[in-house]
Amino acid sequence: MNFSADIGTVKGVGKVRADGFRSLGVATIGELLRFYPRAYEDWSSILPIERCPIGENVCIKGTLLYPLKNDRVRGGMLIAKGSVTDGDSIVSVTFFNNKYIPSMLKSGEEYLFYGKITLGKYAAREMVSPMFIPVRQSKAILPIYHQNPKITSRQIRSALENVLADKTEIPEFLPSYILEKYSLVSLDTAIRQIHFPESAEILQRARERLIFDELFLLQLSLMRLKNTNKTVKTDNKIKIDYTDEYFKLLPFEPTNAQKKAVKAAVADMQSGKQMNRLLQGDVGSGKTAVAAALVYVCTKNGIQSALMAPTEVLAVQHFETFTSLFASAGITCELLTGSTKAVDKKRIKERLKNGEIDLIIGTHALIQDDVEFSRLGLVITDEQHRFGVKQRTGLCSKGKNPHVYVMSATPIPRTLALILFGDLDVSVLDELPPGRQKTVTYAVSSKKRRGMFDYIKSYLDKGFQGYIVCPLVEESENITGVQNVEEYYEKAKNTVFKDYSLGLLHGKMTPKKKDEIMSDFKSGKIQLLISTVVIEVGVDVPNAVIMVIENAERFGLSQLHQLRGRVGRGTQMSTCILVTDSSSEDTVRRMNIMCSTTDGFKIADEDLRLRGPGDFFGTRQHGLPRLRIADLMTDSKILNETQELAGEITRTDPNFTKNEHIKIGRQVNKKINSLGNTAAANTI
């Protein structure tokens, strides 16, 4: 078996089929073998007709009662109907447009039929176009593959039958000590059985082995990338640590978690190697102050920094924070966003290139081609889950091996953090600044709105501020019971809250208008902000202590958590009210979780459980590698085992030089190559 041989060399695969295979990402025999079935037809558990569940695929064994005959009906279609009995019950079978069916299915002979049973007139059982095979040819379990208009599951199956007719053993790459320790079947068994399993038991063993391979190799590859990253030399070495000087600038005492995070990052940058570090911290944990420390230290060492934020509102906020913090320190900051005026843009770009700017803060505008630096050595991305891979690497390529600091407010469950950021070092802010109160959360129905408004007023009267969040609703999208942000604002302004100053904020406003509103809210000029989720990310107004989320059922758990994080940022106890009239099981569950905990990790875990990893991370843009067979949610046992083993090998034999590891090393290299762009997501 030559694994690298072209798919076209397989018996029965001509030019057209070969193209079909390529459209599925299968170009070689090796890739064909790794193209696992998506499901199976189980011909091995034969059910009595009487006991077959309706509407599900089942396999029955029966005899055709009388010969089939094709009738031609209107439109020229051929129909053959017959009756099949298993001795106790009868099911009628129907076939369409098959000239040969009367000669293929003979009365009096026993066949296996596979398909769905439905109930027809008078509750008679029917099978429409079932698959069938004579009993003596019975195959236990048959694979079903993902197909597309160019190639069918059946064609894929037959290509695999042809390839696997060669009984030469598929070479093993795992040493026997690993096979034994984790009681894994051989690769040969696993590959053959995953396609054509002899029993449900052996299929399970095959799956376990292949899941093991997938997770093991992935983690080894990520760990190797991390080691490689650690050896990337950089000129942006920090010579003098100015951290203590920086801490004196802060209007508050840094938390221990913040100190630890700064220390770890500075140590990375002092090593002479490139830093690649992720800062994880729940909303409100004080990530900005950590980022500012790194900027300060870099600037004092003559290195330029860039900070990229996902929204304009957030970029402006950072700009204000940094300029006021660094006012006395002689650090030059500028802001560059899509709405910066052309003249200013030109001036800023020039000064950036000449090295007259120490820190540039901005949005995606920073990635544009004509943005150049004199000595970019530190790249920070805030709320990184909002960025695609290209955007981050784009910014990094503007410097020479700049240090990379990624900040994320989406708590990532531990099991996944390693897969997603396996090659980044991680700091965690696991401590909130002192004096923070838990935000109390309630879920209420819209009937309570009147009382709720009174409650909000009582806070506004005391000088506090608040948010009301509504889902974004397009005019065309007239859904009853959903609050449209603009209407809501008009109504509130003219009725209940007519004696208060209100602001409206949504994504379709011009950036300038948004800034105006945000700064009026920050300064206290606006008491109550009616907004869409544009405020979801990062906005910091400690005086805002009350948040209402209308149509809370329309938001996911992590999003609700982010939104709620906009309050509870000062020393005053805050309240979050979730308004929903939905009583679906899913909504009730989400509301209960929100009301019972403010722990971001717990919420992320639940969110992941409810939505699955793909949705959780917004599918692929976050560098979550596509897995063929493993499932990060259900295969956590194997995930843990392989994580441990990969860690051990990385420590004891990082270059796979031991005899028993040489073949693993080859697989890892292949994996790293195949990770391609996805790996770049992890390496940035």
> Which residues of the shown chain bind ligand ADP in the complex (CB under 6 A)?
252-255, 258, 281, 283-289, 409, 433, 538, 540, 542, 569
Print burial letters for 547-565: b (CB count within 10 Å at least 16), e (below 16): bbbbbbbbbebbebbbbbb
Please, which residue, 430 or 486, has the CB nearer to ligand ADP?
Answer: 430
Strand 359-362 with 333-336, pairing: parallel
Least distance to ligand ADP, CB of residue 585, Å:
32
Residue 252 interaction partner, one of Mg ion, ligand ADP, none, beta carbon < 5-8 Å per kind: ligand ADP
Please, which residue, 402 or 433, has the CB nearer to ligand ADP?
Answer: 433
Residue 358 interaction partner, one of Mg ion, ligand ADP, none, beta carbon < 5-8 Å per kind: none
Cα(656)–Cα(320) distance, integer angstroms: 50
Please, which residue, 386 or 569, has the CB nearer to ligand ADP?
Answer: 569
Residue 284 interaction partner, one of Mg ion, ligand ADP, none, beta carbon < 5-8 Å per kind: ligand ADP
Is there a contact between 403 and 269 (Cβ–Cβ < 8 Å)?
yes
Cα(390)–Cα(376) distance, integer angstroms: 18
Burial (CB count <10 Å: 0-12, 13-18, 19+), residue 162: middle
Cα(304)–Cα(296) distance, integer angstroms: 10
Alpha helices in 422-495 (DSSP H): 449-461, 485-494
Least distance to Mg ion, CB of residue 683, Å:
24
Residue 558 interaction partner, one of Mg ion, ligand ADP, none, beta carbon < 5-8 Å per kind: none
| Contact status: 538 vs Mg ion (CB under 5 A) | yes
Please, which residue, 538 or 623, has the CB nearer to Mg ion?
Answer: 538
Stretch that binds Mg ion, among 191-199, 256-264, 410-418, 536-544 (CB under 5 A): 536-544
By residue count, the chain amounts to 684
Least distance to ligand ADP, CB of residue 606, Å:
20
Please, which residue, 260 or 448, has the CB nearer to ligand ADP?
Answer: 260
Please, which residue, 219 or 288, has the CB nearer to Mg ion?
Answer: 288
* Token representation of residue 199: 């029993």
What character string, x for contact with Mg ion (CB under 5 A) and - otherwise, covers 393-432? Answer: ----------------------------------------
Please, which residue, 409 or 567, has the CB nearer to ligand ADP?
Answer: 409
* Token representation of residue 162: 């042809």
Residue 542 interaction partner, one of ligand ADP, Mg ion, none, beta carbon < 5-8 Å per kind: ligand ADP
Q: Which residue is nearest to ligand ADP (CB)?
A: 286
Is there a contact between 463 and 597 (Cβ–Cβ < 8 Å)?
no
Cα(622)–Cα(229) distance, integer angstroms: 19
Residue 665 interaction partner, one of Mg ion, ligand ADP, none, beta carbon < 5-8 Å per kind: none
Please, which residue, 324 or 445, has the CB nearer to Mg ion?
Answer: 324
Is there a contact between 295 and 322 (Cβ–Cβ < 8 Å)?
yes
CA atoms within 13 A of residue 43's CA, in its CB half-sphere: 23
**573 by DSSP, 3-state: which?**
coil
Least distance to ligand ADP, CB of residue 162, Å:
58
Residue 297 is which amino acid? V
Residue 569 interaction partner, one of Mg ion, ligand ADP, none, beta carbon < 5-8 Å per kind: ligand ADP
Residue 214 interaction partner, one of ligand ADP, Mg ion, none, beta carbon < 5-8 Å per kind: none
Residue with token string 């599951």: 153
Q: Phi then psi for 39, rounded to 5 degrees?
A: -165, 180
Please, which residue, 156 or 361, has the CB nearer to ligand ADP?
Answer: 361
Least distance to ligand ADP, CB of residue 58, Å:
54
Cα-based angle 596, 598, 602 (whole degrees, multiple of 5)? 85
Contacts with Mg ion by CB under 5 A lie at 538
